[in-house]
Amino acid sequence: MSGLYLLDTSVAIEVRDRSQAILGKLEGLSGRFAISVITRVELEGGVHREASSATLRRQRLDVFLSHMPVLPFEEEDADRYGSILQSCGFSRRKILDRMIAAQALN
């Protein structure tokens, strides 16, 4: 299958950190990869999670972002998010995950 694969935040973290297990699985896919701007926001938050490793995390994220397209969250994605809420209900804890899912479905 080829096309565009939207990586969620947990997979993006593994790619950023060069997880050989995840990189091996992704190499078996044909297509392009991107992340959501929502994932970018979450990754930026992770840079500052621990002050002692912020410099290393910043460097890793900058390298990752230099090779990974970041997709904007569009109005159509917001509409799809509303459809997801209609089906699943609102959960404050799952807002960002559901926004990424809405984007992936579009």
Domain extent at residue 58? 1-71
Provide the domain count of the chain.
2
Task: For 42-91, write each residue's pLDDT tens digit.
Answer: 999 999 998 999 999 999 999 999 999 999 999 999 999 999 999 999 99
**Dist CA 56 CA 46 (whole Å):** 11
Burial label, 28 (beta-carbon count in 10 A; 0-12, 13-18, 19+):
exposed
Residues 63, 77 within the same domain = no
Question: How many Å from the N-terminal Cα to the C-terminal Cα in the chain?
Answer: 17
Task: For 10-55, write each residue's pLDDT tens digit.
Answer: 999 999 999 999 999 999 888 899 999 999 999 999 999 989 999 9
pTM for this predicted structure: 0.89
Residues 54, 96 within the same domain = no
- CB–CB of 35/6 below 8 Å? yes
**Phi, psi (degrees; rounded to nearest 5) at 4:** -110, 130
- What's the CATH number where 36 sits? 3.40.50.1010
Token look-up 């993006």 returns 12
